[in-house]
Structure formats: C-alpha cells, structure tokens
Structure 1
Amino acid sequence: MDALIKGIAGLGLEIWHEFVYILPFLAIGVLLEATIRTFKWHVKIRKALTRFGVISILLATLLGVASPLCACATLPLVISLLLAGLPLAPAMALLVTSPLMSPAGYTLLNWELGVGWANVILVSAIFMGLYAGYLTHFLRRYGFSEERLFRQALPAGDFHDPDYPVEELRCDCGKQLSHRVDRCTHNKFLVFLAKFWEGSLKIGKFTLIGLLIEVVASSLIPHEWVAALLEGEGIMPILTLTFATIPLHLPQVTAAAMLYGFVSPEVGEGITLAKGSGIALLIGGPVTALPVMAVFISMFRKRVLFLYLGLCISGTLLLAFTYRLLPFSF
C-alpha cells in the first residue's frame, strides 16, 4: 500500500513539475483567446462567411485558425451556419481547421515543441482547411449539396434558446460565467477576466490530461516502443499513429502536452520527434474528436460523415508523407 501511495505521489509531482514549465505560455495563450472572445473578433468574421461565395472557404479557414473554439463547440456553430445558407464547403473548412489551431494552441506548441513545430502545424492547419473546403466544393456535383446533408429536417429556432428541441445542438453558453457577467455589468474588463478564467480552466484541463497520459505511458510502456513510434522515419509509424488516434478524443493542447513530456530534454525523455509522426499525432489526433463523430452520426447522412473522415485521414497522410520527404525542417 505504501508503495502504491508513493508511486501515485511521484506521478503527481512529475505532472506538476512539467505543468509549471509550460505555465507561462499557457497563460499567454489564454490571454490571447480571452481577448479575441471579449471583442468577438471571430464572430465578426463568421458573419461574413455567407456572403463571399468560394472565397468564403479561405475566410472559414482563417476563422478556424484564429478562433478559440474547439471542435465540439464549432460543430453546432457550423450546423447553424448551414441552416442560415452557408455552403457545405466553407462549413467543412471551418470544422476541419478549428480543432487544429488556436492562439493558445500556437503559444503552447511554441513553448513545448519549439517555434518550428508551431509554424509547421499552423501551415498544416491552413492547408487542411483549404484542402477540405475546395475538395468538398468540387464534390458538390456528386451528391454533396446542402439539400442532402441531414438525416431529417432540423426544427426552426435559435440554438441558444434553452428550450431548443435538439439537445445535441442546444447551446448552453448563456450559463457561462462571462455571459452572466456581461448581462449584469456590461463591463468589458470584467467580461475579459471571466473569459480568462474560463479559458484557463478549459485549456489547463486539456494540458493536464496530456501530461497525465505522457507520465503514465512513460511509466508503463517500454521506452523503445514509444521511441519507435515518435522517432521512426518509416511509413508504419505514420500509419499507426494516424489510424490509432481516430477513436481517441485528443484535443491539440492535450496532444502537444503529451508530446512535450517525451521530447523535452529538461523534463522529458529527450526523444527526437520525427517529422511524419509529429504531423500524424498533432493533426490526425485533434481533427477526429469522438464527440464530433457522435454528432455527425446522429445528425448527418452517412455520406457526410465518410466525407469528413476521408478528408481528415487523407489530408493528414498527405501532410505527413510530404513533410517526411522534404529535405529540410522548419
């Protein structure tokens, strides 16, 4: 019993030690996201999406990169935009890009894996949005039009209404602390503080989950197995990581924090992350979040789910193999 307690205490100390190392950049990322949410810059871009035709794919991609929303929060937004007349192509670009990059995600990647990897994932996220959007636009003529998306017609109404009949789409943002503060005070600074607190809890939670996975994996999984996947330059590590992460709920912040514990020479094992494996984990993991898959299955026709998965998997593999073959690293 004493050995078990000591083991748990040791794991807790190791997680805390690694968390303290990344805390400064975590705070910077949360600060950026709180600023964006307070002034609603992402909302202003979102309102323009339905008015710019094919160019809206590019706008949706940029919104996905800049938005602090995760995949689970983006999907109800995407559905509401589809019902408001947004074509499927920019909607798919936004949905694919949003979980891959955010201000907090970029700052944390910068600190945990270096500026090179942060820029690679930023470029990869933009590519994924454009790839998903323009390929979906091309497939419109093959049955992927807006009239044939949903399993059944969705009830009219506002997703923000607490009585909206579809529970999976009902937004509870009105219950958030920042919205209550805004209704009571209309003070931007107090709203900013509330959004900073909400972001700290959300991003801090996903960061700690990533560190927990890394610490437990380091303790239970032989080092050579982990190294073979993360350092491997062959094809199999890329395929293994890409398909193994499909059923996992692995947000980008969690994936980055998990990798940090393996590659950091200060607090981790000093593993050199291979180019292809890094893309497979940091792109393939976040883009196929389980909650998103559940809503896709319940709301959309099967062909839309298969399109989304096909875009995510093929885009990830294309990026991973391309970056692996490049004669240089960023």
Structure 2
Amino acid sequence: MSFLEITKWNSLRLDKVILAFLLTLILIAIFDQSQLWPSIVFAGKNIVTILPFIVLSIGVAAYTKASNLDSKINTTTSGNPIVSIGIAALFGTLSPFCSCGVIPLIAGLLRAGVPLAPVMAFWISSPLMDPEMFILTSAVFGLEFTTFKTIAAFLMGTTGGIVAYLMVRAGYFQEIMRPQTSGGCGSSCAPDKKPDTTIYWKFWRDPKRTETFKTEAMTNGWFLFKWLALAFLFESLMVAYLPVDKVALLFGDEQWWSIPLGALIGIPAYLNGYAAIPTINSLIELGMGAGTGMTFMLAGSVSSIPAAMGVYALVKKPVFFLYLLLGLFGAIVSGYAFTAWLTL
C-alpha cells in the first residue's frame, strides 16, 4: 500500500477510537454543554505542547525502520540481557521523550524484534526524568529530591526490565503487540532468521526505503494522534470534575496509606511531567508529605490516563498490566524509600 493510499484510507476510516472520541463529545454536549469547548481546547493544547516530542519520536522510529537500523539495534540488545537492560534504563532516564511521545519509538523497536526486557526498561524510565526536567525539578524541590527521583527512574526501569526478562524466560508474553499495531507480525515480532544487517544511512536514495519511511511515519502518526486525542479528552474531564487542589485534603496528616493512595490518585489527576512540578509543590505546601509527592510524580508519569491508553492500544493486555503494575509498585516503593531517607 502506497503512502497516498494510506493517507486516503486513514483520513476516511472511522475506527473505534474515532467513534469513541465523537461519542464522548456528543455526551459532553448533552450533559454539560459548558464543558464541551474547554475539553476541546484542553485536548488541542496538550497535543500541541507535546507535538515536538511526537514528531521527533515518529521521525526516529520511521528512520530506524527505513535505514534498517532496527536490525542493528536488535543484534545489540540480544547480547547480555542485564547489560542491555541497564543501558536501556539509563538512556531512558536521559532521553527527552515523554510517556506519550515514546510510544511510536517503542512500537518500532518491538516490531524490529528488540526483546521486551530492554524495551520495558526504556519505556518505564523515559517519562520519569530528562535533563530539562532535572533542572526545573531542582529549582523547585531542591537537589536532594531531584537526585532521588533520577535514581528512582533508573532503578524502576532496570527492575521493570529484569522482571520482564525473567517472565519471558518463564514462558510468558509470547505475544507482545496487538495485531493492528504489529504490522502483521503475529507473535513476538521476531525478525527473519537471516535478516539484512546492512544499514542504509541515506535511505532516501532508495525509493522503496523512502516509501517505508513515509508509511511508517504515517502509520505511527495516525495511531498516536487518534489515541492521544481521545486520552486528552478524557483527561480534560478528569481535571474538570476532579480538581487537583482538592486532592491535598486527602493528605492532611500523612499516614502509611498516603503513599499508595498518592499512586492511585496520580492516575487521573496527573497532567504531565512539567505541569506536575508546580502542582506537587503546591500540594506539599498544603500538607502532602514529600514521599507522597514523589510517589504521585513517579506513578503519574507512568500510569496517567494518556500514557496508559497509549500503552493499552499498543500491546496486549498481559504486557499492559505488567507495565502498569511495575510503574505503580516502583513508585510506591520509591515513595516509602524517600520518606525513610528523610527521617535518617
């Protein structure tokens, strides 16, 4: 199928995601018409805000496929699993991709046959920290909080990768991606026995590879856009009917259950890594414990509504629930650990 045919098909196709988006708009108009325009604006602004990261990630994923770099990545990550997991977690901690923008890159890696373990490590650690977020977080919370969050991001990614590796070795997750996102790959997207390992850095000199780049970019772009539009629409309703400033009332006196509750509240109430900085700072000033704030930021980054919906659309349910549980468990453990650190 050519690039123009895909463009025409995708522009006309009304799949379940688009129908859900339109149905949600209709329901908002019926039950709360005053919320219709704010929700549309909210979704539009959020998409525009992360657009540079989306374009970058889609471009990287498409280039990786068109240049045949995915075969090299697959070979590299098929070596020592612990080393590849650690490298993936470190790269994720340093990379600028958010939890939504990283999805097309992850899709490209999985389709290329990269093992689930390093992908999971990168996937979990990537939205938790990046250089710009480190600077902004340090300015608001101080170096101690920010350094701990950075270490937690690396350890959460590493732990997630190791757990995924052990479960794959035990026979779980034989199928990773959903059929509609795997490009026809039926199981774990393993590459051919004798793949072409030549890297075509200047792929645009080959018409077929140029077509591959266009197809990959269009497929990933359409997939990401429709799911993000629906996710941000849902998030606008969460923000409207669950004001973040009211969350502080649940954490007046920090109890043992405050940290797990902070992880669960972070799912609907979390906006994005940068918006969370002033939000959590305000909540801490209103009485939320620093450990709960740490948990809220970590859990929200991994399991927020847009991120969770993107992951759910990409992989099969068992992989999705593993990703979700690893994120929540890691955030809770990090929150308790930070609380204990502050009491030393």
Whether the 8 Å CA contact 2:253–2:287 is kept in 1: the answer is: no
Aligned residues of 1:238 and 1:280 also touching (Cα < 8 A) = yes
Q: Does 1:85 align with 2:116?
A: no
- The answer to whether 1:100 aligns with 2:128 is yes
**Helix, strand or coil at the partner of 1:246:** helix
RMSD in angstroms over aligned alpha carbons? 3.7
Q: Counterparts of 1:250 and 1:160 in 2: how far apart (Å)?
A: 34
Give yes or no for contact 1:99–1:251 (8 Å, CA) kept in 2.
no
Q: In 2, Cα distance between the equivalents of 1:159 and 1:171?
A: 18
1:69 aligns with 2:69: no
TM-score, L = length of structure 1: 0.61
Identity of aligned residues (%): 23
Q: CA deviation at 1:296?
A: 2.6
Separation (CA, whole Å) in 2 of partners of 1:306 and 1:295: 13
2:265 alignment partner in structure 1: 244
The alignment status of 1:260 with 2:275, answered yes or no, reads no
The DSSP-based 3-state class of the residue aligned with 1:148 is coil
Query: Quick check: 1:297 aligned with 2:319?
Result: no
Distance 2:343 2:154 in 1: 20
Q: Paired residue for 1:316, among 308, 328, 331?
A: 331
Indicate how the Cα distance of structure 1 residues 49 and 108 shifts in structure 2: closer, same or farther if over 3 A, else same.
Answer: farther
Task: List gaps (5 residues or longer) in structure 1.
Answer: 1-32, 173-208, 264-269
* Distance apart, 1:249 and its partner CA: 4.7
Q: Alpha carbons of 1:165 and 1:326: their partners in 2 closer, same or farther (altered >3 Å)?
A: closer
The residue that corresponds to 2:149 in the other structure is 121
Counterpart for residue 204 of structure 2: none
Judged with a 3 Å threshold, the aligned counterparts in structure 2 of structure 1 residues 64 and 104 are, in CA distance, closer, same or farther, namely same
Distance 2:254 2:338 in 1: 11
- Aligned partners of 2:91 and 2:97: how far apart in 1? 10
CA shift, 1:87, in A, is: 0.6
- How many angstroms apart in 1 are the aligned matches of 2:270 and 2:183? 29
- 2:248 is aligned to 226
Q: Name the aligned partner's letter for residue 316 of structure 1.
A: A
Q: In structure 1, what is the Cα distance between the partners aligned to 2:321 and 2:266? A: 16
Deviation at 1:227, TM superposition (A): 6.2
Using structure 2 for the length normalisation, give the TM-score: 0.59
Question: Aligned residues, how many?
Answer: 238
1:132 aligns with 2:160: yes
Contact 2:248–2:287 (Cα < 8 Å) also in 1: no
